[in-house]
Structures are given as C-alpha cells and as structure tokens.
C-alpha cells in the first residue's frame, strides 16, 4: 500500500474531521482493502473535504474477499481495473446523514447514499434514484443491520467510529449490493406470472433502463406491487378472456410513478396509480399493511431505481372502499375480480427466456427479511409517518456535501452502457 498517498488523501480532510483521519484509519487493520480501493478513485478526498454529516458503512477485508468475482464490482475488487465500478460500490456505502447505532430501531429506516446514475461502465449502470440509491437500516436483536439490493443483509461488527462531529463509520461484515432491474428481480425471485403478464400486455415500460431513442415510458423513482404467481392463478379465468388493453389497465394499477414509498411511511392514505385510479392503503393495529384488498406480504425490495412490495392478490382498476376490506379472509376470497375462477396454468408469454443464463436465483430468503416489521405498531419502538412518500427517518443531521459522488470517471461509456442495460428488461 502506498503509505505516502494515504497520508496526503486523508490529511486533506483532517480539518473536517477535527482529528487525525490518517492515523485513525491506518489503525484499523481490517479495513486495508477499503483504503486501497479508496485510493483508486479520483476526487474522494475533495468529496470528503466538501461534505459533512455522512455515515460510512465500511466493509472489512473479509467482506471484500467474499464478493463474487463474476460481477463487475467483484472483478474490480480482484483486478483493481474498473474505477467506475469501484466508485459506485464505495458511493453506495456513504449515507447522507449521521446514523449512530442508537438511532436505529426495529422499524427499518431507508436512507439515501451518494450512489447515483453517473456511475455507468460498459456493462451496466448501477443505480438510478433521484437523490441517491436507498439502503435500509434496522435492528435485528442486538445487531444493527443494513438491507441492500439482492436480499443482502450486512451486520455491523463495530459501530460508531467517530471522525470529529461530521463523519461516523460502522464496520460491516458484508459488502452492500446494488438493486436489480425490476424484471431481473422478478425472474430471480420466481415471480414469473407478473413477468409473463408484462410481456403479454406489451406495456412499453422500460423501468428506467432505456436507450435515448426508445419510445417506451422511461419509469424511474417508482413503487411497484408484485402479485404472487398464486394471486394471478386465482383470477386465471379473467386473464384468459382479457384483451390487451384490459391487461394493460390491470398492470398499470400496480405501479405508482414518481413516488418511492417504503412501507414504514404508509398510513391510511390514497395514492394515484399509473393507471389513474387511486390505490387505498390501510395499516392495521396488528402491523399488517394493505393496498386495496391485497396484503403486502414481503415489503421493501430495493430495485435499481424503485421499490417493490409483494402482495397476495391482483389489484383491479377502480376506487376501493377501505370499509370493505376483510383482513381475516384468505387471499383466494379477496380477489378483486367478480366471478373469477382459478386455473392451474396461465397462457401468458414468458419473459424468463430473456434471463435463461442467469443463475442467481433467491432460493432461500433470509429470516430477517421475512420477519422485520413493515410498519410501526403500538408495540414497536418507532412510529409510522402516515404519509405517502419515501420513509427517511431523520438522522442526527442533514447531509450538507457540495459534491454528489466520488467523481470516478463519471459518464464514461454512457451511450453504449445504457443501450446494453436496456436489454436487461
């Protein structure tokens, strides 16, 4: 490691941290890989020097060693040859705001990072949320955990390393993952019926991954509800007789554009869907969250540029009366389509062939993701905001950085990368 370079990089920010940054970081022997990767990214010292009130989740050496080498960030870690991927990876670990461990509760806080659309290499972009990618913070027993894309859970192994008043560092045992594009997520998670319905309906939505000459709707910063395969099968008779326009209307009901809504921010509110009709949200005292007549059974999957909530029933166009909700009824009795009957298989075109070479499927969902509270109740340690906007529980201070990222080859290979990424969906 180039010791003189590290001293010059970190001493540049010593006035911000009100202490000897170089000495502190060099004393952490299990962060030497992180220090080396930081040195590959031009502009990092300037970014830190112009920023305050940030939280860095610092992967240990072993965490970096465990990253698969067949993905862009894994290759970059191994060969130190892709500063865009390294910059994106590091940016995803820098949170806007100060989050000491004692402000994290058993209700997830979804906070934004410095990762934005400017990080694009010749294979893919890494994230595209306005204001920065999201990750979640939540207590798991006595542990503080970070929730990121691809069902990844990172556990804080050493908390609250302070660099003056402006920067807090937490060591973590697993590198944070990027969110997958929407249809790649549904394929990997096994929600094939929705993938097939999207293909059949020809909805012309690129979900934020599109080339400049595409005529499809370029949808970013969205919330989407994903019915299970069983939910689609329950209304199979309706789907078999539906024309393309009807199917498009049904699917558009499952999308909220320009509004990233994580479950802790839900209350008894209504929000317009892409189809135009309002979606009615209900939060019950038992902690269950509902959209129209469908229960949210798996919330808050962080995507490339949106958030997905899995639901147990297909939504229907039209207004929903909250008073008609029957939460005790099983999902097959809460179908939103009168006289619908179940079928054993759906005659819909499949999108699965597009991802046939992808082997990263979610065979086992971590227990924390299945059990973490979706919303606050009287027995939890936090309260729901009841608003229909992204849930950003207030850190101790707001981010005041002048720079937006790590300035690592921003915009490189933009046109080619976006064209390649559009093929993923």
Model confidence at 404: pLDDT above 50: no
Model confidence at 154: pLDDT above 90: yes
Whose CA is closest to 327, among 272, 287, 279, 298?
287
167 to 3, 189, 214, 358, 379: CA distances (angstroms): 22, 36, 42, 39, 32
Each domain of the chain, given as residue ranges in start order, spans: 3-178+393-422, 182-371
- CATH code for the structural domain at 182-371: 2.30.180.10
* Class of the domain covering 3-178+393-422: mainly beta
Same fold, 3-178+393-422 and 182-371: yes
In the structure, what pLDDT confidence band is assigned to residue 215 with cuts at 50, 70 and 90? low
Q: How many residues in the chain?
A: 425
The pTM of this model reads: 0.84
CB distance 302 to 148 below 8 Å: yes
- Which pair of structure tokens corresponds to residue 308? 């997905």
In the structure, what pLDDT confidence band is assigned to residue 212 with cuts at 50, 70 and 90? low
Q: What are phi and psi of 253, to 5 degrees?
A: -65, -20
Model confidence at 4: pLDDT above 70: no
Q: Which burial class, exposed, middle or buried, applies to 265 when counting CB atoms under 10 A from its CB (0-12, 13-18, 19+)?
A: buried
Instruction: Check residue 349 and give its pLDDT.
Output: 54
- Which pair of structure tokens corresponds to residue 57? 């989740």
Mean pLDDT for the chain?
80
Task: Identify which has the larger pLDDT, 227 or 240.
Answer: 227
Model confidence at 324: pLDDT above 90: yes
**Residues facing residue 227 across a β-bridge:** 311
Q: Which residues contact 50 (CB under 8 A, 6 or more apart)?
A: 401, 402, 403
In the structure, what pLDDT confidence band is assigned to residue 352 with cuts at 50, 70 and 90? low
**Residues facing residue 172 across a β-bridge:** 59, 156
Whose CA is closest to 33, among 187, 138, 175, 157?
175
pLDDT digit string, tens, across residues 39-85: 888 866 456 555 678 899 999 999 999 999 988 899 999 999 899 99
């Amino acid at each position: 490691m180039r010791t003189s370079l590290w001293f010059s990089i970190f001493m540049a920010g010593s006035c911000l941290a009100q202490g000897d940054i170089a000495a502190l970081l060099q004393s952490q022997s299990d962060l030497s890989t992180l220090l080396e990767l930081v040195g590959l990214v031009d502009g990092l010292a300037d970014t830190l020097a112009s920023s305050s009130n940030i939280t860095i989740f610092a992967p240990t050496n072993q965490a970096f060693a465990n990253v698969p080498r067949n993905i862009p960030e894994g290759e970059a870690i191994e060969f130190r040859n892709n500063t865009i991927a390294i910059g994106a990876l590091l940016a995803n670990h820098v949170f806007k705001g100060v989050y000491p461990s004692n402000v994290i509760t058993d209700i997830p806080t979804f906070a934004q990072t410095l990762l934005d659309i400017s990080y694009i290499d010749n294979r893919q972009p890494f994230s595209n949320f306005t204001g920065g990618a999201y990750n979640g913070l939540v207590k798991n027993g006595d542990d503080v955990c970070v929730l990121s894309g691809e069902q990844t859970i990172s556990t804080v192994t050493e908390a609250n390393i302070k660099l003056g008043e402006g920067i807090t560092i937490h060591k973590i045992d697993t590198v944070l993952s990027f969110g997958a594009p929407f249809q790649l997520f549904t394929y990997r998670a096994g929600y094939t019926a929705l993938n097939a319905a999207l293909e059949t309906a020809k909805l012309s939505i690129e979900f934020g991954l599109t080339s400049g000459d595409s005529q499809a709707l370029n949808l970013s910063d969205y919330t989407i509800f994903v019915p299970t395969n069983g939910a689609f099968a329950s209304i199979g008779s309706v789907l078999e007789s539906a024309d393309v326009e009807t199917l498009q209307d049904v699917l558009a009901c499952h999308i909220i554009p320009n509004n990233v809504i994580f479950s802790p921010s839900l209350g008894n509110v209504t929000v317009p869907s892409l189809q135009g009709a309002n979606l009615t949200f209900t939060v019950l005292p038992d902690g269950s969250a509902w959209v129209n007549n469908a229960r949210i059974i798996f919330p808050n999957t962080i995507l490339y540029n949106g958030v997905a909530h899995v639901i147990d029933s297909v939504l229907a166009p039209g207004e929903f009366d909250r008073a008609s909700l029957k939460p005790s009824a099983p999902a097959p009795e809460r179908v939103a389509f009168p006289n619908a009957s179940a079928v054993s298989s759906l005659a819909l075109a499949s999108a699965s062939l597009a991802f046939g070479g992808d082997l990263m499927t979610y065979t086992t969902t971590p227990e924390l993701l299945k059990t973490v509270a979706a919303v606050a109740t009287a027995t939890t340690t936090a309260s729901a905001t009841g608003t229909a906007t992204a849930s950003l529980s207030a850190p101790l201070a707001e981010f005041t950085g002048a720079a937006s990222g790590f300035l690592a080859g921003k915009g490189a290979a933009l046109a080619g990368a976006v064209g390649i990424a559009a093929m993923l969906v």
